[in-house]
Chain A
Amino acid sequence: MIPVGKILRYLTNSGSISDDLSVHNWLESNQDNLRELDIYENIWNNTDQLKDFKVFDVDSEWQSFVAINDISADTNVSNDTLSQPVPAPKKEAKVIQLDSKKVIAPEIEVEDEKSTVIETPQIAVTSKKRSYILPLSIAASLLLLVGSYFTIFSGQDMPTPEPQLVYQVITTTDTPQTVTLEDGTIISLKENSELKYPESFAGLEERNIELNGSGTFKVTRNPDIPLVVEAGNTEVKVLGTTFVIDMGTEEEIEVENIEGIIKFYEAGNEENGHLLTEGQKMVHSGEGFTDITEEEIEEVKPLKGHTISHILNHLNLVSDGKMYPSPKLKYDKYKRFEINLYQDIESILMELSLEAEINYIQKDCDICREITEFKAVK
């Protein structure tokens, strides 16, 4: 499974060429993935217009509808159905308060004559429930007393209060930053990263910190209190060592161990973790763990040609934004064109014209064009 982040970047046209290639490889690896992408795209496109979707309170609308229409009298219901209460969950909920007055009052109160047919069996049902209320009240009171006894007198059953932790959060934008923790551990935080850590590790069984982004950790050794770094849905546990965590996204976490031994595992599943020795590098993605020590660069299956999206991005880039797709432009995102993009714009367009039909609106300058149509020549 491909990380959703890559799909998101693909849908928002904000991904790198490598991201786009990953998505295309994923699409070509299995026909079902096309449907997956369509669903993602369908949801994403609909979220763009969410703010225009008005939501009426359907419960009160239904009440208005019931008031206008003769629902109960007109309903073609059997006796069995009549014994079922009309949906009135708020009234029903009061039964659990073990207060007979509160149970009965709202059920008997028939405000609308039309609902009499339904309401009558409801009263019968409620009366039945009332017969349980006294024993239930006694039972509840006993439970309360027994519970109170254990709470007051059985100190060992009381939960041990956890130490109050005060956290620090460091966020970097364009500049890396070095952070030193209370125990002397040094973390070099890279750009656009975030680190959350407790001000003090006193009284803790683990030194838990959270990372979102990339950082190098030089951990002060403490065999009694391991340091655990939570990164996305993975964790890295160490006693004392130096290692690097680099989150491509929250779903693609790369860990490189520089010295010592560390354990890299999915959060909450330490048994199935991997011990990384010095120099070892491992990545965790939706497909699980992959050792990338030997081949650091993912071998990308070469695809023939470029997608329209890629070509449009390239034209936009090399024209300094002067050539751009119309917001209304629709195109086949899976269609590829085998053309050489490493030439001037006019040559690219010339080569494309053999395979594609491209229409545009000429703007102010020579290469200022709004592309309105881009489709393969049949």
Chain B
Amino acid sequence: MGKPDHLDKSYQTSEEFEALFKTYFNPLCNFAYKYLKDWEDAREVVQETFTKVWSNRQNINVHTSIQSYLYQATKNSVIDFVRKSQKKTKNEADIIRAKEDALSNDKDGLGSLMIKQAILQAMDKLKPKNKEIFRLNKLEGLTYREIASHLDISERSVEDNISRALKILKEELEKNENLF
């Protein structure tokens, strides 16, 4: 991807920012959902995060990577959102505190979510049959035997297709030097 890490040097134009937005929007939504358990809320929080980043882009200096910065910024937005949205009964205040603690201790980063996004994109590079078998196994949770029966092919053929898919996904993902 080769993106610079400093907001003060890049992402100033709408085109640059659009690329940034489209790269990180889904991983950040999935991260926010982990704590909010509501996709619409997660989406709203991430939109707000990007709005803040856009408004302050000329004053932001990222000292780590842009990915870590967005991860931290979304974390903060989720905490704000939780604080605002929950009613303050004692029980709910405890829940808020627990969520804040969990968020503060979240060190997972976006790495795994970026890989998942890249896998989903790279799946388009698979041949249709290959993709279908891989999808049935990994997204539908079917066993090799079930897939073989469903598609009327041998289990060995199913395994070969999954192997081939894994190989192609690795080749595709390795093109992005920031993933691993």
A residues sitting closer than 8 Å to B (CB atoms) are 3-5, 7-9, 38-40, 42-44, 46-56, 58-59, 61-62, 64-66, 68-69, 71-72, 74-77, 81, 84, 86-87, 118, 171-173, 192-194, 212-213, 232, 247, 249-251
A-B contact pairs, 19 of them (CB 8 A): A4-B164, A39-B170, A40-B166, A47-B138, A50-B119, A51-B140, A56-B26, A65-B21, A65-B50, A65-B54, A68-B51, A69-B51, A77-B13, A171-B153, A192-B155, A212-B157, A213-B157, A232-B160, A251-B163
Q: Are A50 and B116 in contact (CB under 8 A)?
A: yes
Name the one of B43, B155, B166 contacting A4, with C-beta atoms under 8 angstroms. Answer: B166
4 closest Cβ pairs, A-B complex = A250-B160, A5-B163, A58-B22, A4-B167
Q: Are B119 and A47 in contact (CB under 8 A)?
A: yes
Tell me how far the C-beta of A256 lies from the nearest C-beta in chain B, rounded to whole angstroms. 19
Residue with the highest number of chain B CB atoms closer than 10 Å, among A46, A69, A86, A232: A46
Name the one of A62, A68, A250 contacting B163, with C-beta atoms under 8 angstroms. Answer: A250
Residue with the highest number of chain A CB atoms closer than 10 Å, among B12, B15, B163, B174: B163
Name the one of A68, A72, A247 contacting B47, with C-beta atoms under 8 angstroms. Answer: A68
Chain A residues whose CB sits within 8 angstroms of the CB of B154 once the complex forms: 171-173, 192-194, 212-213
Interface string of B159-178 (1 = CB under 8 A from A): 11011101101100110000
A306–B112 Cα gap in the complex (Å)? 31
Q: Are B15 and A213 in contact (CB under 8 A)?
A: no
Q: CB-nearest residue of chain A relative to B48? A: A68
Name the one of B17, B112, B141 contacting A51, with C-beta atoms under 8 angstroms. Answer: B141
Chain B residues whose CB sits within 8 angstroms of the CB of A8 once the complex forms: 159, 162-163, 166
B33 within 8 A of A: yes
Tell me how far the C-beta of A353 lies from the nearest C-beta in chain B, rounded to whole angstroms. 34
B95 within 8 A of A: no
Q: Are A77 and B30 in contact (CB under 8 A)?
A: no
Q: Looking at chain B's contact residues, is the secondary structure mostly helix, strand, loop, or mixed?
A: helix
Chain A residues whose CB sits within 8 angstroms of the CB of B153 once the complex forms: 171, 194, 212
Contact of A53 with B117 at beta-carbon distance under 8 Å, contacts A58-B26, A61-B47 already known: yes
Chain A residues whose CB sits within 8 angstroms of the CB of B15 once the complex forms: 81, 84, 86-87
Q: Are B13 and A43 in contact (CB under 8 A)?
A: no
Q: CB-nearest residue of chain B relative to A47? A: B138
Q: Are A56 and B25 in contact (CB under 8 A)?
A: yes
Identify which of residues 41-68 in chain B touch chain A, using a CB-to-CB cut-off of 8 Å: 43, 47, 50-51, 54-55, 58
A86–B22 Cα gap in the complex (Å)? 15
Q: CB-nearest residue of chain B relative to A85? A: B15
Tell me how far the C-beta of B162 lies from the nearest C-beta in chain A, rounded to whole angstroms. 6
Known pairs A65-B51, A232-B160 / 16 extra A-B pairs, C-beta < 8 Å: A4-B163, A8-B166, A43-B115, A47-B119, A47-B138, A51-B138, A53-B113, A53-B116, A53-B120, A61-B43, A62-B25, A65-B54, A71-B54, A192-B155, A194-B153, A247-B156
Tell me how far the C-beta of B17 lies from the nearest C-beta in chain A, rounded to whole angstroms. 8
A257–B155 Cα gap in the complex (Å)? 27
